Chain A
Amino acid sequence: MSNEQTQNVNMESTDAVMLEADTPTERYLTFRSDGITMGVSTNYVIEILTDHIITELPRVPDFIRGIINMRGQIVPIIDIRLKMGKPRSEYTDTTCIIVLDIDSVYIGIIVDSVQQVLDVDKTQISAIPVEDQQGLVNGMISLSSQEVLLFLDCEELIQAY
């Protein structure tokens, strides 16, 4: 704790290099879905699966694609596009499933492609201007290019009503 405080003091002495290293950062896995770049904290991520057979379930909302067998564990799979009210698209060979552990609830999300892991300065995350995307996004940050990164609200994801 005291260590952190001294670092804060250092920060105030405007050392740009130190700033990058010392601010509270969190690692985010970024992925793309329907042209949007989104991020999910790596704390939630269990693994990324490609090419898995999904068993469909009857009589469920269409964003629930079904269940998979991940080494004996049954994991429900939802399509993040459909969950956000976007149109369905064909699954390609970059399509993959990110399996998340959200407060011990396992859930897999289907995304168009997985990109990279980024260190994000949490203090730079700003609120989203409008409540949209079915409330699945709880913050955003602008990336170096003209892109923005939207943060997936994992808690909201499992509040599936």
Chain B
Amino acid sequence: MDNGMDNMLDMYLFETNSLLEQLDDLLIEAEKNEELTTDDVNEIFRAMHTIKGSSAMMEFSSLMTIAHRIEDLFFYVRENGIDSLSHDAKSELFNLTFKSTDVLRSEVEKLENDEPLSTNIDSITTEINSFLNKISGVEEATGGEAKESEGSGNAAESLSVDIPGVAESNCPYFLQIFFDEGCGMENLRAFMLVNALKDRGMEFEFYPEDVETNSATSENIIEKGFFVGLNSEEEMKAAITAVEEQGSIQTYEVIHHELKQEESMASAPAVEQPVSAQSAATSDSSAPKASEQSAGKQVPAGQKEGAGSNPQHAAAKQSLISVNLSKLDALNALVGEIVITESMVTSSPELQNLKLDSFLKSTRQLRKLTDDLQDISMSLRMVSISGTFQKMNRIIRDMKKALNKDVRLTIVGEDTEIDKAIVDSIGDPIMHIVRNSMDHGIETTKEERIAAGKNPQGEILLSATHTGSEVVISISDDGQGMDPEKILNKARRNGLLTKPESEYTKKEILSLLMLPGFSTNEEVTEFSGRGVGMDVVKKNVESVGGTISITSEVGQGSTTTLKIPLTMAIVDGMEIRVGHSIFTVPISNIRQSIKIAKENVLYDAKGAEIVKLMDEFYPIIRVHELYNIDTEITQIEDGILIWVETGDQSYCMFVDELLGERQIVVKPLPAYLNSFNIKNFGISGCTILGDGNISIILDVLNLYAAANV
């Protein structure tokens, strides 16, 4: 049961988050065009409706209330048309909507972090209410009229109705509702509809009455329809709107109740509302969803409702499903094993020297298939970076308002795909850099920009490109750039300088920015600066195996470049042999491999071996000595030197021989071994070789540290 609850919460969080993200995109786009289309309004309305429904089901009352208020607001906007709003009202509407989605998001975050939800949400709800009152106060008169005139068209024909209870009812109007054929659980669907109507605060009757508890009513509903009795024409119209939003509804019909037939507009023709284009879309998109959901576990009713009530998005989302990352990892591990097992089988020594034509043919086929399988399973983890980039739109928008700067964000290469784990961990660093650019990079006033001969509108360029094994993400602004003098001064004051100022190159000065406790801005603003910035960014980027560098020209802007490996799980490695052990060194760390003669080995003051390469001296680390491995190759000219480099460390490793380059799947070492500090000796993980043996992956940086203890 607990597990079921967790699943539901997961689903809820996923759904709500994606809705909020969609909303954000939509709002940003709409604000750019200074126009909310009717589609947009419908979309917002639907999203809020879904959030409200599922929050109510999960009993998150604060979320439900806020969503409900926004829904009310957009219900009004939808009824009256966006054009009825004045310009000011529109921009207020945007701000209010942004604000409320923020509140929703922060509540959702609290859920994710297992914190209690806010109980006091009055400020936002009052704000929405007063705005709603404001706009509805102005337009009530016209709105009312329109409703009335529309209303007269919607009269209904009487039908002979033989559902018990309907005949005795006093309601003048009935809606007869049929659900999609074969959608299942009709009684519960009817009950959801009842709830949806109740949410709107409507008073109504419905038959059969025991849909919630009596599943036998399903058949009745299939046969004769589900009846909702309403007291007035207006309520009926509202109910129709609600019905239209529900999923799985095939058709509905307005029935004028017999008892009052004389008093009503009997002459009006029957208004049958068969499957309109919209409800057709609804049934189309909801049917597969429903079956998909019922195939799984019991899925919350609110989400079904959400799936159905979102026809436009459902069409686009249809081809996506969400999968737990750990399942993907398990799949990847399994596929990796299949590939290895396959090669173990096909190159089994027992098969050597046998003439097995058809066997070879089938194994070739098998190899091709397993290779394809591996490619696909690897690609499952890859997601496009566009989500991360799009979030920056929102940040720019907010800061634009707050700082009163005119800036546009240009995004290049948002389709670039990288590993999901990496996407998650670079979101914050990118956001931080964008904020910095916005806050410190772009000039404070337009006049400054004009005086510098630039476009008054600032530009922040966010780009992502693939280069073989890594993704290069750069964030550049065309702002004022960074003054090396100022950075040096600041660094001196903070005591960060380690050598005479005159010896600092420009690159070194810029890298001072990334030291802990450095902040160029004197004031701490709402958005950035407090000196905990770039060093944390650097740490985050390095934690996923990436590097970060800054370039800047005074007066022309700055560029921050992140180089991130495509995936942490697969690296290009060079296999090396020392004695009987096989190690793998990441290719990205290797500069060169060289054979040198004995005479080229020099000795430093401590007697340690060094070698001169390209006019610089580099220490030599003998891996067999460091790791106490028995090997016959101890003479420098018999083995080979690998010149490696990481960050600012560069040295040569002496190994027996190179075995070749290959792509490897990184596996962490068992946790048990961590207690032996194995990482500090330069071992970062291992990988399984094609023959099932294990190769140990060396960490170039820690290996150097280990050798110098």
Given contacts A53-B693, A55-B693, A158-B672, contact A72 B678 (CB under 8 A): no
Q: Complex: how many Å from CA A58 to CA B340?
A: 25
The smallest beta-carbon distance between B679 and chain A, in angstroms, is 11
Q: B407 → chain A, closest Cβ, in Å?
A: 49
B681 interfacial by beta-carbon distance below 8 Å: yes
Interface status of A57 (Cβ within 8 A of chain B): yes
User: What separation, in Å, do the CA atoms of A102 and B671 have in the docked complex?
Assistant: 12
What's the minimum C-beta distance from B429 to chain A, rounded to whole angstroms? 31
Which residues from A are CB-within-8-Å of B671?
105
The answer to the question of B452 belonging to the interface, with a C-beta cut-off of 8 Å to chain A, is no
In the complex, what residue of chain A is closest to B580 when comparing beta carbons?
Answer: A56
Query: Chain A residues with Cβ under 8 A from B676's Cβ?
Result: 60-61, 64, 160
Interface string of A35-68 (1 = CB under 8 A from B): 0000000000000000001011111110010011
Does A68 contact B673, Cβ atoms closer than 8 Å?
no
Is residue B471 contacting chain A, with contact meaning CB distance below 8 A? Answer: no
A59→B670 contact, CB < 8 A: no
User: Would A67 and B333 count as touching, CB distance under 8 A?
Assistant: no
The verdict on A57 contacting B678 (CB below 8 Å), with A67-B694, A107-B672 known, is: yes
Bound-complex Cα distance A112 to B670 (A):
24
Bound CA–CA A59/B702 (angstroms): 13
CB pair B692–A76 under 8 Å, yes or no, is no
Give Cα A76–Cα B673 distance, bound, in whole angstroms. Answer: 7
Contact A161 B333, CB 8 Å, known A69-B694, A74-B694, A76-B670: no
From B580, B628, B668, B696, name the one whose CB has the most chain A CB atoms within 10 angstroms: B696
- B334 at interface (Cβ–Cβ under 8 A)? yes
- Output the least CB separation between A70 and chain B (Å): 10
**Which residues, 555 to 602 on B, are CB-close (under 8 Å) to A?**
580-581
Known: A76-B670, A107-B672. A55 touches B334 (CB 8 A): no
- Complex partner residue of A60 from B581, B668, B673, B693, CB under 8 angstroms: B673
Question: In the complex the two chains form, what is the Cα distance from A60 to B706 in whole Å?
Answer: 13
Residues from chain A with a CB closer than 8 A to the CB of B167 are none
- Inter-chain contact total with CB atoms closer than 8 Å: 75
Question: Would you call B672 and A74 a contact (CB within 8 A)?
Answer: no
From residue A24, how far is it (CB to closest CB) to chain B in Å?
30
Q: Are A59 and B336 in contact (CB under 8 A)?
A: no
Contact: B672 with A160, CB < 8 Å? yes
B688 CB–A CB distance under 8 Å = yes
Chain B residues within an 8 Å CB radius of A106: 670, 672
Closest chain B residue to A161, Cβ basis: B675
Question: Nearest A residue to B336 by beta-carbon distance?
Answer: A72
Best-surrounded residue of A58, A64, A69, A161 (most CB of chain B within 10 A): A58
From residue 334 to 381 of chain B, which have CB atoms closer than 8 A to chain A?
334, 336-337, 340
Q: Quick one: closest B residue to A53, CB to CB? A: B693
Partner of B688, one of A61, A69, A161: A69
Interface assignment of A136: CB less than 8 Å from any CB of chain B: no
A47 CB to closest chain B CB (Å) equals: 16
- Residues of B within 8 Å of A160, CB to CB, are 672, 675-676
Inside 8 A of A76's CB, which chain B residues have their CB?
A: 669-670, 672-673
User: Does B440 reach chain A (CB closer than 8 Å)?
Assistant: no
Instruction: Using A60-B678, A74-B670 as known contacts, say yes or no to A68 and B694 having CB atoms under 8 A apart.
Output: yes
Cβ-defined contact, A58 with B681, below 8 A: yes
Q: How far is the CB of A156 from chain B (nearest CB, A)?
A: 13
**B341: nearest chain-A partner, CB-CB:** A71
**Interface: A75 (CB within 8 A):** yes
Q: Which residues of A are found within 8 Å of B334, using beta-carbon distances?
A: 72
Residues 96-118 of A contacting B (Cβ, < 8 Å): 105-107
- With A59-B678, A67-B694 already in contact, the answer to whether A74 and B669 are too (CB < 8 A) is yes
Given A55-B694, A60-B678, A67 contacting B581 (CB threshold 8 A): no
CB-CB < 8 A to B667: which residues of A? 74
Q: Of the candidates A57, A105, A158, which one forms a contact with B696 in the assembled complex, judged by CB atoms under 8 Å apart?
A: A57
Contact with A along B608-650 (1 / 0, CB 8 A): 0000000000000000001111000000000000000000000
Contact with B along A60-95 (1 / 0, CB 8 A): 110010011101101110000000000000000000
Cα distance A55–B686 in the bound complex, in angstroms: 10
B193 interface residue per 8 A CB criterion: no
State the Cβ distance, B357 to closest chain A Cβ, in Å: 31
Q: From residue B29, how far is it (CB to closest CB) to chain A in Å?
A: 46
- Complex CA–CA separation, A74 to B694 (angstroms): 9
Q: Known contacts being A59-B681, A61-B676, A158-B672, is A72 close to B581, with CB within 8 Å?
A: no
Query: Within 8 Å of chain A (Cβ to Cβ): is B683?
Result: yes
Interface residues of A in 103-146 (CB under 8 A from B): 105-107
* Chain B contacts with A in 682-699, Cβ cutoff 8 A: 683, 686, 688, 692-696
Do residues B669 and A67 form an inter-chain contact, with CB atoms below 8 A? yes
Contact with A along B306-339 (1 / 0, CB 8 A): 0000000000000000000000000001101100
Query: Quick check: A74 and B686 within 8 Å, CB to CB?
Result: yes
Known pairs A53-B693, A59-B681, A67-B670; A72 contacts B675 (CB<8 A): no
- Chain A: which residue is nearest B676 at the CB level? A60
A69 and B692 in contact, given A74-B670, A106-B670 (Cβ under 8 angstroms): yes
Report whether A57 and B673 are in contact in the complex, using a CB–CB cutoff of 8 Å.
yes
CA distance A158 to B676 in the complex (A): 12
The one of A55, A61, A69, A71 that contacts B581, using a Cβ cutoff of 8 Å: A55
Give the residue name and chain of the B residue nearest to A159 (CB).
Answer: B675
Q: CA–CA, A58 to B627, complex, Å?
A: 5
If A61-B676, A106-B670, A158-B672 touch, does A72 touch B337 (CB 8 Å cutoff)?
Answer: yes
Contact B333 A105 (CB under 8 A): no
Bound-state Cα–Cα, A157 to B688, Å: 26
User: Nearest-CB distance from B248 to chain A (Å)?
Assistant: 43
- Chain A neighbourhood of B675, CB < 8 A: 160-161
Which residues on B sit within 8 Å (CB–CB) of A67?
A: 669-670, 673, 686, 694
A58 to B628, Cβ gap below 8 A?
yes
Complex Cα distance, B694 from A107, in Å, reads 16
- Tell me, in angstroms, the Cα distance from A64 to B580 when the chains sit together: 17
Q: How far is the CA of A136 from the CA of B626 in the complex (A)?
A: 32
In the bound complex, how far is the Cα of B397 from the Cα of A34, in angstroms?
73
**Chain A: CB-nearest residue to B668:** A74
CB closest chain-B residue, reference A71: B337
CB distance from B685 to the nearest CB of A (A): 9
Going nearest first, the 3 A-B pairs with the smallest beta carbon separation are A58-B627, A72-B337, A55-B694
Interface residues, chain A, with chain B CB atoms under 8 Å away: 53, 55-61, 64, 67-69, 71-72, 74-76, 105-107, 158, 160-161
21 A-B pairs within 8 Å (CB atoms) are namely A53-B693, A55-B693, A55-B694, A57-B673, A57-B696, A58-B626, A58-B628, A59-B628, A59-B683, A60-B678, A64-B676, A67-B669, A67-B694, A69-B692, A72-B336, A72-B340, A74-B686, A75-B670, A105-B670, A105-B672, A160-B676
Other than A58-B627, A67-B694, A74-B694, give 12 A-B pairs with Cβ distance below 8 A: A55-B686, A55-B693, A56-B580, A64-B676, A69-B692, A71-B337, A72-B333, A74-B667, A76-B670, A76-B672, A105-B671, A106-B672
